């Protein structure tokens, strides 16, 4: 661990090139309005001295940081057993990098961290925030909103959508920007596929219902089942929690109450995995006796399952990219001279499509 000596400043470059600081600054920041021979001399000096601008000094005057925070609020362990966030991060990172922005990662483990994050965001260290908050009762979105930082949410946030039955939730804050996948549409496609297979007793193992994704998938299931004769048997819906253990539990309960079930739509791949195991243990064959579909296309789980899982894929990385792009666009487009951000990002949500991936389980 060695420390370099103090780095050259604009001043030093200016001296070396025999110009003023302002000229160097111009060249370094794009070089408009500097004649070529001079600009070249400056670039020379920059290269020779290995000059790198001091970001702190720059931010101090520009009030820009070229940095955005990624806030992941997840007290549960799910984040860390699921490549979901890793993929989102990759997408975000790629997009940010392409626009010379840095990614400041803020992980929160619970209530205590919320204050810290809110303070950081309110402190104006970053130009904007990308926020993941999966739980309906999470105060973080509100805190962040109050912090007044331009924000894009990952996954539909909960505000004011008590009416779970509507396609576009009522009371949605028009100023809130978010990116999500088409949970409801994906669920519909899955259940339709099952019904199309001729299955008549199609069950649903839900996700944790304090997350909008779980609610939306349940809604999608109901959309289709409402049109199927005998499809609204409430016993076919079992609440679970997105985990394999939860999937097992739910599947066992389901088998008890509805031994005649011939298809299962699980809220995610992990849940499907648990269901698969219980089905196997019960002597049922998949997909012959019971067809199973998951959600996420979480690799390697889906592909390595036995049998390989038919599932609804969401383009996770693309969601990340999109979030970053929306935020950056908002930042670039915004800000009139009073410092107020001009509305330029699309308000409301952007929903990415899902695709049904057919493998062996359904």
CA–CA dist 228, 105 (Å, integer): 46
Considering beta carbons, is residue 165 or 175 the nearer one to a copy of itself? Answer: 175
The single residue among 109, 164, 282, 289 that binds a copy of itself, judged by CB under 8 A, is 109
Q: φ, ψ for residue 142 (rounded to 5)?
A: -65, -45
Q: What tokens does 181 get?
A: 């996948």
60 forms part of the interface with a copy of itself (CB under 8 A): yes
Count of residues touching a copy of itself (by CB under 8 A): 75
- Picked from a copy of itself, DNA, none, the partner binding residue 195 (CB below 5 to 8 A depending on kind) is none
Among 15, 38, 49, 147, binds a copy of itself (CB under 8 A): 147
By CB under 8 A, tell whether 283 contacts a copy of itself.
no
Between CA 25 and CA 9 the distance in angstroms is 11
Say which entry of DNA, a copy of itself, none residue 65 contacts (CB below 5 to 8 A, set by partner kind).
a copy of itself
* Residue selected from 107, 143, 350, 351 as contacting a copy of itself according to rule CB under 8 A: 107
Q: What's the N-to-C CA distance of the chain in angstroms?
A: 56
Instruction: Write the binding mask 171 to 190 for a copy of itself: x where contact by CB under 8 A, - elsewhere.
Output: ----x-x-------------
The one of DNA, a copy of itself, none whose footprint includes residue 20, by CB under 5 to 8 A per kind, is DNA
CA distance 273 to 313: 16
In this structure, are residues 209 and 215 in contact, taking their beta carbons and an 8 Å threshold?
Answer: yes
The backbone region for 222, taken as left when phi is positive above 0, alpha when psi lies in -120 to 50, beta otherwise, is alpha
Q: Which residues in the 241-270 window bind a copy of itself by CB under 8 A?
A: 244, 270
Under the rule (CB under 7 A), what is the footprint of DNA?
6, 9-11, 18-23, 25-26, 28-29, 33-35, 38-39, 51, 53-54, 57-58, 60-62
DSSP 3-state of 260: coil
Site residues for a copy of itself, 295-314, by CB under 8 A, read: 299-301, 303-304, 306
φ, ψ of residue 295 in degrees (nearest 5)? -150, 140
When the beta carbons of 57 and 343 are compared against DNA, the nearer one is: 57
**Rounded to 5 degrees, what are φ and ψ at 61?**
-95, -40
The DSSP bridge pattern shows strands 237-238 and 291-296 to be unpaired
Measured distance CA(180)–CA(155) in Å, rounded: 4
Residue selected from 150, 154, 169, 287 as contacting a copy of itself according to rule CB under 8 A: 150
Out of 99, 192, 252, 335, the residue judged to bind a copy of itself by CB under 8 A: 335
Q: At its nearest, how many Å lie between DNA and the CB of residue 101? A: 16
Residue 200 partner contact from DNA, a copy of itself, none using kind-dependent CB cut-offs of 5 to 8 Å: none
Max CA pair span of the chain: 86
Distance CA 141, CA 160 (A): 12
């Amino acid at each position: 661990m060695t420390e370099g000596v103090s780095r050259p400043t604009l001043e030093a470059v200016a001296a070396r090139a025999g110009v003023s600081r302002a000229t160097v600054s111009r060249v370094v920041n794009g070089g408009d309005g500097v004649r070529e021979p001079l600009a070249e001399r400056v670039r020379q000096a920059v290269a020779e001295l290995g000059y790198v601008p001091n970001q702190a000094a720059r931010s101090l005057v520009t009030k820009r940081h070229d940095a955005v925070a990624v806030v992941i609020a997840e007290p549960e362990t799910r984040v860390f057993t699921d490549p979901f966030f890793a993929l989102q991060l990759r997408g975000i990172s790629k997009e940010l990098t392409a626009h010379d922005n840095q990614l400041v990662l803020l992980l929160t483990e619970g209530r205590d961290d919320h204050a810290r994050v809110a303070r950081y965001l309110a402190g104006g260290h970053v130009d904007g925030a990308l926020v993941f908050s999966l739980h309906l009762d999470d105060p973080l979105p509100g805190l962040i909103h109050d912090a007044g930082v331009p924000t894009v949410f990952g996954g539909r946030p909960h505000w004011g959508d008590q009416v779970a039955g509507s396609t576009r939730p009522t009371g949605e804050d028009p100023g809130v920007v978010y990116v999500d996948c088409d949970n409801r549409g994906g669920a519909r496609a899955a259940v339709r596929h099952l019904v199309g297979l001729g299955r008549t007793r199609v069950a649903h193992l839900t996700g944790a219902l304090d997350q909008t994704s779980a609610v939306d998938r349940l809604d999608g299931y109901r959309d289709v089942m409402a049109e199927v004769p005998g499809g609204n048997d409430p016993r076919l819906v079992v609440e679970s929690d997105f985990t394999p253990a939860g999937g097992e539990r739910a599947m066992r309960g389901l088998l008890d109450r509805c031994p005649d079930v011939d298809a299962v739509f699980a809220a995610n791949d992990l849940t499907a995995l648990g269901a698969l195991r219980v089905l196997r243990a019960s002597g049922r064959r998949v997909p012959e006796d019971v067809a199973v579909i998951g959600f996420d296309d979480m690799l390697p789980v889906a592909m390595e399952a036995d049998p390989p899982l038919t599932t609804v894929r969401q383009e996770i990385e693309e969601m990340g990219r999109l979030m970053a792009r929306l935020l950056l666009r908002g930042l670039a487009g915004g800000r009139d001279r009073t410092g107020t951000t001009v509305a330029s990002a699309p308000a409301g949500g952007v929903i990415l499509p899902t695709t049904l991936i057919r493998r062996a389980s359904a």
